[in-house]
Each structure stands twice: as C-alpha cells, then as structure tokens.
Structure 1
Amino acid sequence: MKAVVFHGPKKVAVEERPVPKLQDPKDIIVKVQATALCGSELHVFRGHQPSPTDFIMGHEFVGTVVQAGSEVKSVSPGDKVVTPFTVSCMECFYCTHGSSARCSKCLLFGSAALDGGQAEYVRIPYADGTVLKAPAEINDRALVLMADIFPTGYFGAKNAFGMLQPQQEASEATVVVIGCGPVGLCAIVSALEYRPRHLFAVDSVPSRLELARQLGAEPLNFAEGKEKMTQRVKDVTEGRGADAVIEVVGLSPALRTAFDLLRPFGVISSIGVHNAEIPWSGNEAYGKNLRIQMGRCPVRSIFPEALPVLAKNQEKFSFMFDKIMRLTEAVEGYDLFDQMKVQKVVFQP
C-alpha cells in the first residue's frame, strides 16, 4: 500500500509499505477513505518536537472496517468509522473518568509507537474502546474533523468557560482565542455556543483573521503590535484584561501573550502542543492568581458532547475542504500547509 512516511524534519515521502495485519484479537484493519493533515503534525515535521523516523504519519482519518479481530464487538467489516487520534481501552481509571487521552493503553496514531492513517490501510488496536461508527448527523466531509480538531477546539472552549469563577456568567465574559488555524477556528465556533460578551481572535495571517471574523469573533492582528491588541482587550474590560484565553498555537510566545492578556484570577486553556519552557515565573503566576489547564484532548471521552455542536455548525466549515489531494501528492500537501497557504489539507488514498 501507499503511505506517507516521516524521515526527519521537512522530509516526508510517499512509499510502498506492507498492508497492516491483525496483531491482536482486539484489533481492526480500516481501509482509509480520507485522512487530514493536522497542525500538531507540523511540530514534528518542522523539527520542533524531536521524534524518531520511519513511521507512517497521520492521526486524523475515517474509513471502512475491512477486518475485525475475534474479540471485537462494537464494529464489523463494512462499518464506516471515525477514529480519535489516540488509542483508548475505555476500561482503565482514566477512560472511566472522562480522561481517555491518558488511557493506560494510550498510543498516538502517526508516531513511532503506532503507524498512522496517512495510508491506504491502518491497524487500530483496542478497537472497541477507540473507534466510533460514523454518526448519521455528520456529513462525510465533516466527519474527519471529529478525529481530532473539532473535539480539541471544543475541549479548549469547555475548559475556558468551565473554569470561570462561579460569580461570573459566561454571557459576561471576555474571551480571547490565540491562533486561528483549523483548531483555533473550531475553538471559536465552540466558544460562541456560550455566548460570551466579547470574543477576540488573535493571529497574523489575514486570511485566517477574516475567517475568524466571518465565524463571529473580533480579529486582532498581532503583527500590528502587542500594545494595540492588549489595549483593545482592556478597553472592553474596564482595564482588567481577558477573563479567559484559549491558546492553540503551541509556541512559547503565544503562551506568554495569553498570560499578558489575562486578568488576575483569569483562566488560560491551552490546547497547543508545547515543547519549550513555560514562559513565566512562579512569582508572576502567583502575582496574577493564574488558573490554567493544559494538555491533550480526550477525544473518545468528549466525543458525545462535541458531536452535536459540530452537527449544528458543520456547514460553517466548508472552507476546510478547499484542498483535497491524492495521497500521492502528500509531499506537496505538507509544503502547502507548512507555508500556511491553505487552511487544511485532506488526502484521499
């Protein structure tokens, strides 16, 4: 089969690889119908996140079951499924407490630990706890968003609003989303479900800021200067700063900007993949009474909550599917996405 293989920073190749086989009675084999390129994969592609090589990329994919192990009960050959980007058993402490991202059996698709879905076929361990049948309320194109980026954006918004102080209604809140790539735009749509008083979107790419505006956020271009951006947030909050900031970028300067825009006792909900040091001191955090939630979205756990929000808003995301490419064009697709020339890339094997 054809597969996209990682060979080091800025080096991917489409190669012939063996079709995966069942290795355990809990496994399934899925024929991939669509597989998307995620912004978090750019951390590996760009070399920001040190990684081994020679594995198949891809953790956002949908497809059809072609083989099922003898212990698999939830799906059968012929079923169309969507796969969250990490393996989960749905039996351990973390899975049974809404934290499937840290399942005791957790493996990340598209890593040295487990080949991913940017291929014609993919093996899925612990299928009963990992995959879900394609829900009828989501169209075929939008379904791939439920593998990662929409639940992740939803998770960022849920944490931001859920951690507001009890005395504050969501409708009174001023919230900032930093990063208007695909996940950031999903966070914007999710945040708007809470009807905040003000919702700002921060980026430097004009096309992304325009999409944020169309979705309902007020755009702030940080290329025009941090002072201007900070002043606008203070203008609508009587000088306090934002009640919550959703940080999506995964880079230290973005996290620092989130901290600087925040009021005392404010919330940072960070869903970006970070590899650098935290850009503030303990004394600074103490002085602001910082409250923060960071980390990976538990897609399998949060799927039932996020699904109706995407179903309601799925037509707003048509721009995500402007660049559909053959899997054999993956090298070009990575370059386009790396250079931010497209919002999203979806490959079809």
Structure 2
Amino acid sequence: MSDLPTTMKAVVFHGPKQVAVEDRPVPTLQDPKDIIVKVQATALCGSELHVFRGHQPSPTGFIMGHEFVGTVVQAGSDVKSVALGDKVVAPFTVSCMACFYCTHNASARCTHCLLFGSPALDGGQAEYVRIPHADGTAVQAPPEIDDRALILMADIFPTGFYGARTAFELLQPQRQPASEAAVVVIGCGPVGLCAIVSALEYKPRHLFAVDSVPSRLELARQLGAEPLNFLEGKEAMLQRVRDVTEGRGADAVIEVVGLSPALRTAFDLLRPFGVISSIGVHNAEIPWSGSEAYGKNIRVQMGRCPVRSILPEALPVLAKNQDKFSFMFDKIMPLSEAVEGYDLFDQMKVQKVIFKP
C-alpha cells in the first residue's frame, strides 16, 4: 500500500469566501511518527466558517478540513498503535499523549499541538492527509460505529459532549443533582445538537435550546429540548427560563455559537452561582464587566475541546445515540463539488456537508 500517486485533489483556502479544488502533492512521511491516510470521507465543520467568512483572519494556501476518516496507507518506523490497512479517525488537533497536558486530560493544549486544516498543518479535505504523532493522534475506528457517524468524532460530537460534561461537572460542588438542573444550549447547529444529545444523557429536569433557524429548532425539539427562538425577543426567552426555575434563571448554559452576543445571552440567562460552559470559537471581547461577573458569582469554562483525552468517554455515548444523527448525513457530495458545499453550508441550507474524495 506504499505506492501512492504524486498528486491529489484538495480543497485550498484562498481568502474570505474563496476556496478551490486544486491539484496538490500527495503528502509524504516527514517523521518516523507520521502516518499517511487515504481519506474515505471528510466533513465541513462550523468552526471552519470563522475562517471562510473572514471573521478569523488567516493566511492562505493551505488545505482545509479537520474532520476525516480514512485508511492508513503509509506508516513511519516508530508508529506502533496503528498499521497499514487500519481504518482510523483523528481528532482535529495533533496530540502526542506524552506531554504534561496530554497526561493530564488536556490534550487540546499538547506541547506538539497542530490544528489540521490550518497554515501549520494541511487538513483532510483531500484525497490523502498526513497525521503527525500518529500513536497519540490517530484512533482505530470502532466497528460498531457507522463511518458517517464516526466522522463526527473528529470534532463536533466530542466538542458537544465536552460542553455538556463540563456544565454538569461545574454544578457538582453545589451538590445540585443533574436531575434537578435547568440547562440551556445556545446554538443549534451540528455541535449544539451534539451538546443536546449529550446533555440529555444526564437527564436534566429541563433542557432548553436557543437558535433563530426554525429547522434547527425543530431538530432540537425532536431530540428532546424545548426550543426558544431568540428572534421572538430576549425578554420572552428570559421569562420562559425563569418560569421553570422559580424566577432564578438557568443553572447552566452551554454556549456553542462563538459570538459575543451569544455569550452575553448566556450570562443574562444564568442564575447567581450558575455556570457557563462555552465551547464556541471566540475572537472578540468578553461581553460582561468584572463587576457584573462579581455581582452574579458566575463560573465560566471556555476553550478548545481536548478531543483525544475524552474519546474513551465520548465514543460509547456516540455509539449509543448514532441513529439520532441521521439528519446530518443528508448532504454527501464529491470532493470536486466542495465550492458548492461551502456555499450551502455558509448559507445554512444544510446541517452538515460530507465530501467523498
């Protein structure tokens, strides 16, 4: 399986709202810890829209994509955990699983961390992709999870799971059982819907879902959350949450959007001593003052999901609930049509886009 072509098709970023499918060299092993994977499926993630839309300024010329599943076709001499022919999935960041952060369940901040689909490391929206530190990064695909669902494990499902898990863990010091908690998920895109499914595993007393897109809110309702459309007014939304919490506000808010107004909404919905678990990719100021935070005694956890660290916990939850995500697989396109796929996703006309090289 070591004889590979010299060129491949890949989705390349050229600036805001500009991607193109181009011929690129097939990646080669650069280190004995590397593997080369032939991509079987690769997806478009909502966090990539921050770059695509120009909200997150970025250099150009790199291959996009940090969600992919594929087969190992080359392996460096130091690779022990996977072998030629193995089907693997990789988190969206490289993890060595040996440094301080990786050994303390914080793989998102691995000292060797690289983000797939960035100027530092070409991504998986291509026919082939190189995975550095393969023993720490790549994971053999569990046979009980469908390939389409498995691609969710690269980013969006563990991120949603992490947001939910963090919220309930932050409530534990207050000795509030999950079954008594009123929880709000802000943002019902793919990650938000994964957070809803994960939050329901804790069986909260009430779960709300906030968005403005009717189709997304309907999906949230079908999954088991009460939908709240913020276009109907913030006060109405706040009042509904107060109605089910004896006027206090939400015990926990899981913020998935990554925009300051959404984070402010999370703050406003929260009761005193409530918790915010923010997994959105933020690039602006925190939208509350120190005095406001002091006056509410809030606790906030923000940042990137340590996917590799939580995979052992998240995989069984996905396996149990994978049939609930069939709606995410309604748009499967050839990689050659990636430009159209980006436009559809950018316009929120589809829940998820999966490319087949």
Q: One-letter code of the match for 1:340?
A: M
User: Residues of 2 paired with 1:141 and 1:273: CA distance?
Assistant: 24
Equivalent position of 1:60 in the other structure:
67
What count of residue pairs does the alignment treat as equivalent?
349
Equivalent position of 1:44 in the other structure:
51
Deviations 1:74-127 (A, max 9, x none): 111100000100000000000000000000000000000000000000001000
Match of 1:204 among 212, 218, 236: 212
Structure 2 unaligned regions, length at least 5? 1-7
User: Residues of 2 paired with 1:294 and 1:137: CA distance?
Assistant: 32
User: Residues of 1 paired with 2:165 and 2:20: CA distance?
Assistant: 37
TM-score (norm 1): 1.00
Equivalent position of 1:34 in the other structure:
41
TM-score (norm 2): 0.97
Deviations 1:301-324 (A, max 9, x none): 000000110100000000000000
* 8 Å Cα contact 2:16-2:52 kept in structure 1: yes
Match of 1:102 among 102, 109, 112: 109
TM-aligned CA deviation for residue 137 of structure 1: 1.9
Structure 1 unaligned regions, length at least 5? none
TM-aligned CA deviation for residue 141 of structure 1: 1.4
Q: Report the 3-state secondary structure (helix = DSSP H, G, I; strand = E; otherwise coil) of the residue aligned with 1:93.
A: coil
Q: One-letter code of the match for 1:45?
A: F
TM-aligned CA deviation for residue 167 of structure 1: 2.1
User: Residues of 2 paired with 1:142 and 1:45: CA distance?
Assistant: 24
User: Residues of 2 paired with 1:226 and 1:253: CA distance?
Assistant: 11
Equivalent position of 1:114 in the other structure:
121
User: Residues of 1 paired with 2:201 and 2:211: CA distance?
Assistant: 21
RMSD of aligned Cα (Å): 0.5
Identity %: 87
TM-aligned CA deviation for residue 166 of structure 1: 3.1
1:213 partnered with 2:221: yes
User: Residues of 1 paired with 2:213 and 2:295: CA distance?
Assistant: 33
Match of 1:173 among 157, 178, 181: 181
1:245 partnered with 2:253: yes
Q: Report the 3-state secondary structure (helix = DSSP H, G, I; strand = E; otherwise coil) of the residue aligned with 2:124.
A: coil
* TM superposition outliers: structure 1 runs of 4+ over 4 Å: none
Match of 2:324 among 316, 327, 333: 316
User: Residues of 1 paired with 2:271 and 2:249: CA distance?
Assistant: 4
Equivalent position of 2:168 in the other structure:
161
Q: One-letter code of the match for 1:208?
A: R
User: Residues of 2 paired with 1:87 and 1:290: CA distance?
Assistant: 32
Q: Report the 3-state secondary structure (helix = DSSP H, G, I; strand = E; otherwise coil) of the residue aligned with 1:260.
A: helix
1:259 partnered with 2:267: yes
Q: One-letter code of the match for 1:342?
A: V
Equivalent position of 2:11 in the other structure:
4
